[in-house]
Structure 1
Amino acid sequence: MEGSVVELAIAQAGPAKPEEDVPSSSPAATPAPIPAQLTSEELVAKAIAPVKKEFLCPPPTRNDADTELPPQTAALIKEKKSKRQLKRERRQESKSALHLCPVVAKSGEVASCVYGEKCRYSHDLVAFKDQKPADLEGNCPFNGESRCPYGLACRFAGTHLADGIAFGTQNSDQRKTSEVNGLNKDVQKLLWKNKMKFPKADATLKLLGLTDKTKKLLDREDDQAVANKSCAIEENEGCIAGGTCASEHLEEDTKPENGDVPEELRPVKKAKPSTDESSRAIEVNNGAYIKEADIEESSTISDSGGGTLADNDVVESDESLKIHPRERKLIDFRDKLYLAPLTTVGNLPFRRVCKVLGADVTCGEMAMCTNLLQGQASEWALLRRHSSENFFGVQICGAYPDTVSKTVELIEKECSVDFIDINMGCPIDIVVNKGAGSALLTKPLRMKSVIQAASGTVDTPITVKVRTGYFEGRNRVDSIIEDVESWGATAVTIHGRTRQQRYSKLADWEYVYKCIQKAPDSLQVLGNGDVFSYVDWNKHKSDCPKLSSCMIARGALIKPWIFTEIKEQRHWDISSSERLDILKDYARFGLQHWGSDSKGVETTRHFLLEWLSYTYRYVPVGLLDVVPQRINWRPPSYYGRDDLETLMASDSAADWIRISEMLLGKVPAGFTFSPKHKSNAYDRAENG
């Protein structure tokens, strides 16, 4: 954008001088109170950022009129619309001339659309040009790289060279070469019709004995183990709701008085194959052959697989068997800067920004297995990977071994990923109520079966992310950490909070260290929680040398340059202009990812605003009495060293929108925004 637009927006924020009244860009919400008599140490004890006094805003004076929201802020409150209203708006939008056919927009010719009059888009080029919003300032994000895929619909069409439609010398779409992991249309149709085949997953589930009947058995065993109050280990808070001793509990506690165990509660036994054709050989790992008679003696194929052969089961190929751990692809997280999978904000443009600033490992947003298996395009979009992400993984979330194993098989076949992470720590109600995420922490046997099924289905390394436990005060991960590797996981990330705790209180790193000490040396264990500076990184690495690495989540949302700080071992007193340059990069990456037409611009704006709902919590190093800033500090209302820094410190959605207008032009009429997530959730315990 031109400097005049930025200067105009900053000028509207008012001068950043302490002796003047609070500018219009000051926070609309109540800031953290700063009594003048408190020292920096006392402020830190109260989790209030100790901003230098010369930068603090005077406390606002309130009267009866202050109880009402300002008109500008009130207009930004997002109204909840019914599904019927949303459907009506989409129908009206589809009839608009602005709903131009993408093929016609790209070519500039009505005849280029093969559907003709049957096309559900508009073909009226004259009406579209009359109603199209004015072009945005700046160059098309595809300029000089490729043919713009949006043609006339591009909001930067004035910078195109050939009749306002295309430019550049390349014939291919740059997005197709820089982004991968798109969902193939033929595969999507098979998923829609539920006709997709999963031979590897089916073979693994059969090998492990994880049928529908055993799925119900696992649920019953887990529930009974949790309800079992006679467990001496449970009384000492050492058993994970039945934990690794769940099978022993069930073998004793579920027996009737007469000693007969019901058939449905009996553990799956190792059945011997038929010996009628004992001379037949079965091919196993890498072309090696063994005789069925040899299988009969041991009744198992592989210890590492944990599976058995049922009667008359014949292994058709080596793909149906879990390979030896030493034959798996190697993956190393040690000392690498890992950007956590972040819901909503951890999209591809944000990950590109973090890669530029020094992140080594990136991971896509959490995707639900059931949605992926249904072929939902919006869910598959979470798996997209940019060419700059040289160490990339995807995170999935599922409740049962069959859905997870089928999902990982599909991902390995259709996508390019370095690892697949299984989320077993998500605290969101809608996920937990389906038995996924943190709910698996209460069901250790199902947790085991999910990891075994996933790792036995694919060669891609499987990692796991967990919280310390489900209920606050009852940490459980230390009870299973020794077994996770034998189940098939390559690495485990432990978030130092329980599900009930959500983001209240600081992460319990002492417990994370305890789990790491119990873990086998060959299992990589990563810690997660409250890493906000290179000092935090160094402390965790020095306190626990066995710690492989730290996963950085909210710290990267608030200040993505944390990766640069860790690598350069310094506190970066970043200027407001440097922060604006980072936002400009994000806007450019967003337009390349979501599109440069009106829809793409507003999608980019939406996710930019979601990110700004976190970044305002950053307090510049030069304004602090105590360095570094801690992630749980509440920033007071303060003036920056310039007008732009003051604007960036505002927690008002109106000011976030003004920042977005510097980069993406004016918002459309009737625009509203409210952040999806509570970025200040460090002082509340929810869902519990």
Structure 2
Amino acid sequence: MAESSSGTAVEPKVEEALPPGASSSDGAQPSPEELVAKAIAPVKKEFLRPPPLRSSASRKIDGVTDRKLDSSKLVKDKKSKRQLKRERREERKSAPNFCPVIAKSGDVNSCVYGHKCRYSHDMEAYKAQKPADLEGVCPFIFSERRCPYGLSCRFSSTHKDDIPMGNLDVEKGIFEVNGLNKDVQKLLWKNKMKFPKADATLKLLGCVVKGSLKIKTVKDREEAEHSISNGSHGLQENGCKKEDDLGSNVDCYPEILEENAEDEEVVADESRLLKKAKSVNDDKCSSDEVNNADASASEKGIENSCSEAPQQSARDDMLPETDISLKLHRREKKLIDFSRKMYLAPLTTVGNLPFRRVCKVLGADVTCGEMAMCSNLLQGQASEWALLRRHSSEDVFGVQICGAYPDIVARAVELIDQECSVDFIDINMGCPIDIVVNKGAGSALLTKPLRMKNVIQSASATADKPITVKVRTGYIEGRNRIDSLIADIGLWGASAVTIHGRSRQQRYSKLADWEYINMCAKKAPDGLQVLGNGDVFSFVDWNKHISDCPELSTCMIARGALIKPWIFTEIKDQKNWDISSGERLDILKDYVRFGLEHWGSDSKGVETTRHFLLEWLSYTCRYIPVGLLDVIPQRLNWRPPSYCGRNDLETLMASDSAADWIQISEMLLGKVPANFIFTPKHKSNAYDSAENG
């Protein structure tokens, strides 16, 4: 049922349905103020258009079928892992899967594996089936570097033979880093990688690791602390066994265990501690308080010590050696000054390296990689390590990791600290995705402050780089809790905290609560930088948040950058940029070029670039040009009516149809392969969905 302008309920017909903000049957046009109040974009009347008639479930656009209304046809048939593995094995020997060594050199004898190579060596068969070259030039020509894909490049006709094989990119300072070393990957696969600093830190903090022993004496504590500061292999000397299962559900507890305690006695349920805690102060009961209690407490067993823990005083200044964090953070760290810097948020799927390069060109100051799961990093998964890649143009760069337990996070932090070039490490404690929360990570940590403390302390004490934290206001809507923890987060070792102004339950629905963010910023200690996140979509939003709370260091920009990455330019120039469709297309061209350099200029790289371009276009279609609005600037929650742009390209870019996104990709990367299907990973164009991201 729908409502007419008079408020009477009517049943609209499909061909007579009106778009939001369009004129009603009596010709009345809602005012811009009325539209804004309903979160509808106030597009100028001359650009509005009636909705297209859809007599069938699909329509044709330049030979591409729009199956938006028939969503069942957008879903691919799922195949088993065994079937996919068999298909990949068969595909490797096919002509399209040509040996990359031969493709690069052009010599069939250059492959050291010869006939045993798992790839095809039939050059003539490969040339016969290779698709025609794409329009344009090879992206590697811009860097005056010989293309590493050689014959398999989709721009091979533009290659120049006089370019040397040397990497001139490195000489010019243009390169990518943070690739996973093969030797390290093999050690991770075999679970033979050693983590002396992380394990010594866990031992010092009194964190339980399966098969390990607690530190009971001052001597052991001093030896562990010495091991952390010097990075020595004192762990083996102290007789501490390493955990065999990196993915096991272990956690830190404040109990002191006897030296010969069984493993099943070590692993206790942390929820019992939280259920018995009657206040926030009780939740803050730390391992160091219990470690300094009477020695007789250690002889009572886990159950007695758990029941007595909430009854002890939670004030850290009551005991002589309560603040372990002071001991763990003595060495100096080069802290990052986020003050008034434009920070591009870590964005799942779309926040890849080519997109970050685009944002750097448009003015971003700080960038951060996509969220990586600690357990996958410790297993040596190449796809997860690819999220840590850094381009040389990213002068201030951090990586974001996510884990549920302190031992997993500490070891991942030590590994990143050793193998990667980063400026800071961010721990995600606000991810609302079910698959992450159900494992106890992300927003789930907001319900367990004791574990949250142990994760931050162990990571900060292990890493030489600054540790930052990203959180939400709370887990359940209406029950904010970060304001009660903001002072402790700084004491635990974090140098900065980013607060997303929504709860986990809200996901991305409703507007961000900036009043609560400002209250937390005012409560934060002097050494802790507080960053705000949520609904920053123009320089007006940026200025307002900065001026409302001087204690706020800066604002993190997330979806605003996905929809219009030139927001960084707008903030620096303090203007609303009425960017043309041609200029927007040029930005997409830069993204494609960066993508081909990153993922490859062969057929596989082209399609990977196309996939991530389409994911990004599912966000950019939400942008409404400044010249079409009655009220500026655009707000992030405004739903656009059906409108026409000032030219055909602008109209095409405003479409929320996947078929039109595919058409834009074909303008940049050529025709899609046969039977090509694309389904957006995120419901980015669903304004009224709590999953909107």
Normalised-by-shorter TM-score class: 0.7 to 0.9
**What is the CA-CA distance between 1:345 and the residue it aligns to?**
0.1
Q: Distance in 2 between matches of 1:573 and 1:686?
A: 30
Contact 1:305 1:322 in 2 (8 A): yes
Aligned pair in 2 of structure 1 residues 30, 426: CA closer, same or farther (>3 Å)?
farther
**What is the CA-CA distance between 1:58 and the residue it aligns to?**
1.4
Instruction: Select which of 188, 194, 198 maps to 1:197.
Output: 194
Contact 1:368 1:397 in 2 (8 A): yes
Quote the residue 1:236 is aligned against: none
**What is the CA-CA distance between 1:212 and the residue it aligns to?**
2.8
Check if 1:472 corresponds to 2:477.
yes
Letter in 1 for 2:79: S
How many residues are paired up?
595
Q: Distance in 2 between matches of 1:507 and 1:195?
A: 45
Q: Give the secondary-structure state (helix, strand or coil) at the position aligned to 1:50.
A: coil
Letter in 2 for 1:105: A
Q: Give the secondary-structure state (helix, strand or coil) at the position aligned to 2:325.
A: coil
Q: Specify every segment of 5 or more residues in structure 2 that has no aligned partner in the other structure, as ranges.
A: 1-16, 211-249, 255-266, 292-298, 309-318
**What is the CA-CA distance between 1:305 and the residue it aligns to?**
2.8
Contact 2:21 2:42 in 1 (8 A): no
Letter in 2 for 1:39: S
Check if 1:494 corresponds to 2:534.
no
Quote the residue 2:32 is aligned against: 40
Contact 1:337 1:549 in 2 (8 A): yes
Quote the residue 1:187 is aligned against: 184
Quote the residue 2:163 is aligned against: 168
Contact 1:619 1:635 in 2 (8 A): yes
Quote the residue 2:156 is aligned against: 157
Q: Distance in 1 between matches of 2:654 and 2:434?
A: 32
Q: Give the secondary-structure state (helix, strand or coil) at the position aligned to 1:72.
A: strand
Q: Give the secondary-structure state (helix, strand or coil) at the position aligned to 1:617.
A: coil
Aligned pair in 2 of structure 1 residues 268, 208: CA closer, same or farther (>3 Å)?
farther
Letter in 1 for 2:589: K
Quote the residue 1:305 is aligned against: 325
Contact 1:506 1:530 in 2 (8 A): yes
Aligned pair in 2 of structure 1 residues 266, 122: CA closer, same or farther (>3 Å)?
same
Q: Distance in 1 between matches of 2:576 and 2:605?
A: 35
Check if 1:381 corresponds to 2:363.
no
Q: Distance in 2 between matches of 1:152 and 1:666?
A: 20
**What is the CA-CA distance between 1:220 and the residue it aligns to?**
5.5
Q: Give the secondary-structure state (helix, strand or coil) at the position aligned to 1:47.
A: coil
Letter in 2 for 1:517: K
| Pairing of 1:303-452 with structure 2 (within 5 A) | 303-305=323-325, 322-324=328-330, 327-452=332-457
Question: Identity percentage over the alignment?
Answer: 72
Q: What is the TM-score when the length of structure 2 is the normalising length? A: 0.81
Quote the residue 2:203 is aligned against: 206
Contact 1:336 1:549 in 2 (8 A): yes
Q: Distance in 2 between matches of 1:216 and 1:563?
A: 42
Q: Distance in 1 between matches of 2:132 and 2:445?
A: 52
Residue deviations 1:449-508 (CA, integer Å, cap 9, x gap): 000000001110000000111111111111100111110000000000111110010011
Q: Give the secondary-structure state (helix, strand or coil) at the position aligned to 2:427.
A: strand
Residue deviations 1:8-38 (CA, integer Å, cap 9, x gap): xxxxxxxxxxxxxxxxxxxxx9964634431
Check if 1:112 corresponds to 2:148.
no
Residue deviations 1:337-371 (CA, integer Å, cap 9, x gap): 00000000000000000000000000000000000
| Pairing of 1:288-299 with structure 2 (within 5 A) | none
Q: Distance in 1 between matches of 2:603 and 2:57?
A: 37
**What is the CA-CA distance between 1:249 and the residue it aligns to?**
14
Q: Distance in 2 between matches of 1:100 and 1:493?
A: 47
Quote the residue 2:272 is aligned against: 224
Q: What is the TM-score when the length of structure 1 is the normalising length? A: 0.82
Q: Give the secondary-structure state (helix, strand or coil) at the position aligned to 1:109.
A: coil
Aligned pair in 2 of structure 1 residues 597, 322: CA closer, same or farther (>3 Å)?
same
Q: Distance in 2 between matches of 1:91 and 1:69?
A: 38
Instruction: Select which of 575, 582, 597 maps to 1:577.
Output: 582
Contact 1:222 1:442 in 2 (8 A): no
Letter in 1 for 2:302: E
Quote the residue 1:276 is aligned against: none
Contact 2:58 2:65 in 1 (8 A): no
Residue deviations 1:400-447 (CA, integer Å, cap 9, x gap): 111111111110100000000000000111111111000100110000
Contact 1:243 1:480 in 2 (8 A): no
Q: Give the secondary-structure state (helix, strand or coil) at the position aligned to 1:550.
A: strand
**What is the CA-CA distance between 1:681 and the residue it aligns to?**
4.9
Q: Which has the higher contact order (CA 8 A, sep 6+)?
A: 1
**What is the CA-CA distance between 1:147 and the residue it aligns to?**
1.5
